[in-house]
Structure 1
């Protein structure tokens, strides 16, 4: 009798699984040295003070002791876990002292050996200009100076090497800011012992930072998150600039002879007796210069410069009072903010771990800094002037980093994700802090909150709501429906709901709103779900049959040439028709073709891409003005018609307008300059798309289109530049190899170098250079057209476009004070000014490359003008391009 055995071979699988398990065990095997290294890095996870002597003993008893392995563990811990730096300083100080059972020691102490090897890693960070790691190592050295392991003279020399950067000719703000913070924070921590050594040298460091900060006031005017257009004051309410807070905290410490350092920074080593051995002298250093890559391709003036991201003064918004969250202008407040921002920056690779460490941050601060957690076993005594709310402090700082202008250090979704993870970890405490933050930010809308900050706020609000069931108390904002339709609060509601709909669907979001906001007269949410609007689907449309014939060709996957032929026939028919209703047959044919093609691709993104790729010859023919005139750079009028038809088809879904425009640029149907021109001129014909119906102005929707076009133009230039760099290197390598081979075969010593043929670029490099020149012209054209568009919107003089009559009113002192009575056109003008500021500061590196040409073309007509609008236009431009 036979039996079926469907699971035959199970034993083999078990053996295979066991072998796989053994392989995994072998993969994660740690040597004793690795385990010691891991113990150093994980030091303090339970109770840092109790673990300190145990870890010291473990290190001393380990054999054979490899100093580079220990110093590497210290470097990793210091640069990736800065909240533990004081305790690593205490550990190193203990390792520096003589063991109790040893009266003398031959050679340097273990702590000094580790520190000497640690310095090599610091020098490597400095050589690479790894500013964050460099700054955190300086924290470590400063703590060790207070612990009397490092000499004060060498620590002074280290800090002064960074203040020397501030005196460099033409130093960039980003480099100066980072160097100043390195010196200032090192002085904050090491101040108690450094000032005892030399009060004069302490003052020199502070004065050097102050002198640089006083010279950098103009950029601050352009990056403040709360805007007063008419005012040149750089002080911004409810926001703190980084260098300003550094200096205020530093001067407060200096005035108290750094007595407050002990209440601001943990110093667990202060109870130790003076060391038995001599202190360590840090080697002298020189901060290396910035690396400037020269390729001779960047500017129209012949100067060699590489486009580099501009670094601006950093303003952080304050959302709560000083009794709820720490004031960063105080030493303790600055220490808390710096610690939280370091965690946020370092753990960008893991938002969940970042959220966990932020919630646990209070364990690394001085007891009494934050309110104790409910149900805690140990309740420290509140410290006067402290006792802050941890969750509110965390949310305030995360949002502060997220809303830095002109852009945050990391992607927006990272900051949003961290707040989401914080809410999941502790919903009962973080949730209320988030709610209060939303209400606080909302209250500043209409009081000068920058338009870019408001846009990011709406984005964060929508994504956060999507993670928590879209639950919000919308009824709180019902009274604001009485404000002007373009008031920033009402604009925020519309944008936030538009973002929410993108993350969900229309009907669900509609049900979360009160009746007053659902009503059409509330102008808060659309009456119908976002979707396509194929105007030729209407039976009453006189051109419905013509559009259906084109649509049927697309549905039948007809060849592009057949569709082109059919469109030519339709055009001839329309031009010879007797109804007299056709004004522009070319524009009508383009509209029918583009809308029909988009109708085919409206089901999904894949349908859209397939439709565009299949009919690229048709689109290029239309963009050139027709099949008979194909070729060249295209017909500007035809390209504008393509964009208008696309925007009209998706007028109920503005997100899709931006997507289609991006794809048209990607496939080079239209150029970025065409999109810029359409945004400032032709889009006025599509009233449903724009929140502005009065004088020409820009809302967040138009800015998104402009930004997409400019980013496309700039991105193409950067890609072309990298390609040229690669091809040049290949050419040089090829020539060098050929020359080396030729020399090895050459036996005639009389051959001279001047007889060699001149180097000739490869065909690939020649083609790449031509493409780069073309793309550079396109980039310059897009920037120039954008600047002209803004000037035309805001300029007081008559231009090709109708000037905005409200542009002057909203930037005056009297006009701002009367903003409660502003109508929609005045709020539109104010928002347009805001987007002009964002354009100048965001694209400053590119604008500087063409500053002379662009200024001459756009601002020459204002020469000698004293009009406030003209003055503000030029001032903003001059600050962004480094003229002021």
Structure 2
């Protein structure tokens, strides 16, 4: 569905007239798509009159364009869920005028539902189920057949040997449709609906929820518990049932047409059996419902619905749908959010801000790219400069106050959002309001948060600007000036081993020496490990130190200077780091040189990996090494580690894709050979040669894939092994000393372990057996083992 195609009708230009003469059917199809997609948007006429007029136009076009109209209506049902009741009313009006078309539409929707489930498009499938249920209100679908479909959905909870996430989805699809259709179904089939409710309640009581702590934004139960999504929705639907299905926030245009719609003939849904579970099915992961505000936070204006009122679910669901439909166009998205129907009945700005942060903090990953939420909030502040920035400031203050119990991954995202947001508003903030962080231990969440925000702000500006903007009392949290530390800088370093060689290397580099010449200069550098005969000269830490320190010093002016220097002397670096110790040491030297400039460390580490100077396991070992302990809880180190894991994963995917393509090509060759079996002899010979080459290529690629997967598995083993060692040492030390294990360091470390599992869960799942056998065994301390069990529960 194109959203932009008809932003201008452009009637004055010659091009549309030319198109009309040459392709009139296409012009009419485009017009139909535009009319359907735009219905319900700003108009001088009422929605009801627009719907009636559109139904008339579509009815007239049905004889010639029925299949096109069916396709468009099925697509909007799936892709524009925020206008669900508008389109269900339109289908109701068409069904009242043309019963056969109504039947064909229902059949097309069922086909589409089966396709979306088969393709693992579960969020779109939810919208289709909800749309079908709303057609009961429009007298298109008979209530008993909808109840029968819901009964089939809930029967999935009785299946054996299936993951819980499968039955969760089918229960959610039913419960999330009931705000729209519950009243109608209860009036017609109350006994069956009571039975359905009892089955759902029984299922919800027996399902396990080990995964919940891993997904919560805040660990504290107060002021707003972060509830598991099915439990929360069940409470909301229960309250709605108790209130006799009365709700005030769903737009129901079909009520105006009740006299017309109630005369229409209804259709029965064809029997719908949920597709059987298959191993390649990817069900949606469980989640928690993010809560930040309640009615006490928005004292002026309309009252915010309670967290267990179904109105809260409906409003949030519609706002999520608007973001999902328009996320690629931030201006349109912001405008659509602010023109939410019924906005005068609710504190809209509070709902919008809560929904946006709910998506940003969703674990394991937000629905959309992180920067969307920053851009969207900036756009909303521009459109509503009077009120929205105040709500956003209030939300930021609340999140700051609750940092002690905030999940570390969410705190990372808050740091990135807040620094980016400040950079768009001249870094203005009432820093003095956060002066309480200055009296706390530097490792506590609040001072750590402010320090990381200022460091990110510096990346988006420059050091002196941040110094000038922040009150002098905050100087202890201002990042150090990003200067390099060249150890062979002057006569005071002349006693250092390697000082004389560093000058020779510097002169050689300045005189455009080749890689071979540099290696010749370094040949005579004494090796501190020389006394170890087995070691030989393969790893000489002093050589690496002298060369890299000097090279980085000469190229310290900018990122691009450093990149050029590394590229030019790539051969030297590869020669010096041809052992595991060498790879580890080059990262230590990089850190010593740029320790005041985390961004440079991140960028150059990335470059080392890309140019294969170091491997991914070396980066992991370096991050967990004792010399990095003082930086272990800093944000930049974890950015480096996750970037390293992503590179490893992409490398495996790339080779796997090449292997799959080669296998596909070989299969095509086989098929072609069978079809052309009667052709010339020389053609057969060529074909056999080509097949032989392909088989060799497949064999080579198979070896590369196995090698890459082995490297990938090793990377995760290194990371988890190091985590277990660090956490076990901490737990033993605390137990021996009789002190509380819950220090800021422990919270950070255990949540970083959770973060690795969450952010890379799809890959780690492949190696779960190995992890369980080698690392996460029953003998492991339960504090650490619980994290692994929570991870396993995500896809149970």
Aligned counterpart, 1:839: 756
Deviation at 1:487, TM superposition (A): 0.8
Aligned counterpart, 1:13: none
Aligned 8 A contact 2:540 2:576 in 1: no
Seen in structure 2, the aligned counterparts of structure 1 residues 348 and 286 have a Cα distance that, compared at 3 Å, is: farther
Seen in structure 2, the aligned counterparts of structure 1 residues 769 and 620 have a Cα distance that, compared at 3 Å, is: same
- 1:311-710 matched pairs, under 5 angstroms: 312-322=285-295, 324=298, 325-361=304-340, 363=341, 365=342, 370=343, 372=344, 387-446=345-404, 448-518=405-475, 522=476, 524-528=477-481, 530-542=482-494, 543-571=498-526, 586-624=540-578, 635-684=579-628, 687=630, 690=631, 698-710=633-645
- Give the number of aligned pairs: 751
Which of residues 232, 248, 252 in structure 1 aligns to 2:235?
248
Rounded to whole Å, the distance in 2 between the matches of 1:84 and 1:181 is 20
Aligned counterpart, 1:185: 176
Rounded to whole Å, the distance in 2 between the matches of 1:347 and 1:175 is 28
**Does 1:874 find its partner at 2:785?**
yes
**Does 1:713 find its partner at 2:648?**
yes
Aligned 8 A contact 1:699 1:832 in 2: no
Structure 2 unaligned residues grouped into runs of 5+ = 1-11, 299-303, 532-537, 682-690
SS in 2 for 1:570: coil
SS in 2 for 1:731: helix
Which of residues 134, 146, 152 in structure 2 aligns to 1:143?
134
Rounded to whole Å, the distance in 2 between the matches of 1:834 and 1:483 is 21
Aligned 8 A contact 1:442 1:489 in 2: yes
Which of residues 29, 37, 41 in structure 1 aligns to 2:37?
41
Rounded to whole Å, the distance in 2 between the matches of 1:23 and 1:310 is 47
Deviation at 1:764, TM superposition (A): 1.6
Aligned counterpart, 2:88: 89
More helix by proportion, 1 or 2?
2
Deviation at 1:129, TM superposition (A): 3.6
Deviation at 1:463, TM superposition (A): 0.6
Which of residues 137, 149, 154 in structure 1 aligns to 2:145?
154
Seen in structure 2, the aligned counterparts of structure 1 residues 109 and 724 have a Cα distance that, compared at 3 Å, is: closer
Aligned 8 A contact 2:122 2:283 in 1: no
Seen in structure 2, the aligned counterparts of structure 1 residues 478 and 49 have a Cα distance that, compared at 3 Å, is: same
Seen in structure 2, the aligned counterparts of structure 1 residues 541 and 283 have a Cα distance that, compared at 3 Å, is: same
Seen in structure 2, the aligned counterparts of structure 1 residues 811 and 833 have a Cα distance that, compared at 3 Å, is: farther
Aligned 8 A contact 1:163 1:180 in 2: yes
RMSD, matched Cα: 3.3
Aligned 8 A contact 1:38 1:73 in 2: no
Q: Identify which range, 586-595 or 449-458, moves more after superposition.
A: 586-595
Aligned 8 A contact 1:644 1:682 in 2: no
Aligned 8 A contact 1:154 1:281 in 2: yes
Which of residues 268, 272, 280 in structure 1 aligns to 2:253?
268
Q: 1:620-671: per-residue Cα shift (whole Å, max 9, x none)? A: 10111xxxxxxxxxx1211111010111121111122122112211222111
Rounded to whole Å, the distance in 1 between the matches of 2:611 and 2:739 is 41
Deviation at 1:119, TM superposition (A): 4.7
SS in 2 for 1:535: coil
Aligned counterpart, 1:726: 661
Q: 1:51-82: per-residue Cα shift (whole Å, max 9, x none)? A: 23332333345585522222233233333332
Aligned 8 A contact 2:620 2:715 in 1: yes
Aligned 8 A contact 2:484 2:596 in 1: yes
Aligned counterpart, 1:770: 703
SS in 1 for 2:227: strand
Aligned 8 A contact 1:173 1:311 in 2: no
Q: 1:742-799: per-residue Cα shift (whole Å, max 9, x none)? A: 46679xxxxxxxxxxx999622211111111211221111111111111111115xxx
Rounded to whole Å, the distance in 2 between the matches of 1:119 and 1:288 is 12
Deviation at 1:150, TM superposition (A): 0.8
Rounded to whole Å, the distance in 2 between the matches of 1:853 and 1:526 is 42
- 1:2-21 matched pairs, under 5 angstroms: none
Q: Identify which range, 210-219 or 113-122, moves more after superposition.
A: 113-122
Q: 1:807-838: per-residue Cα shift (whole Å, max 9, x none)? A: 899996xx66xxxxxxxxx3222211221222
Rounded to whole Å, the distance in 2 between the matches of 1:435 and 1:642 is 44
SS in 2 for 1:537: coil
Seen in structure 2, the aligned counterparts of structure 1 residues 711 and 278 have a Cα distance that, compared at 3 Å, is: same
Q: 1:706-749: per-residue Cα shift (whole Å, max 9, x none)? A: 22232222222222222211111122222333344346679xxx
Aligned 8 A contact 1:67 1:114 in 2: no
Structure 1 unaligned residues grouped into runs of 5+ = 1-19, 99-106, 229-233, 294-307, 373-386, 577-583, 625-634, 691-696, 747-757, 797-801, 817-825
Q: 1:513-537: per-residue Cα shift (whole Å, max 9, x none)? A: 111013xxx2x11342x23332222
- 1:789-828 matched pairs, under 5 angstroms: 789-796=722-729, 805-806=733-734, 826-828=743-745
Deviation at 1:853, TM superposition (A): 2.8
TM-score norm. by structure 1 comes to 0.79
Deviation at 1:557, TM superposition (A): 2.9
**Does 1:80 find its partner at 2:79?**
yes
Deviation at 1:191, TM superposition (A): 0.9
Rounded to whole Å, the distance in 2 between the matches of 1:257 and 1:803 is 53
SS in 1 for 2:327: helix
Q: 1:220-273: per-residue Cα shift (whole Å, max 9, x none)? A: 132122237xxxxx9994423321222111222233342x24x24222223512
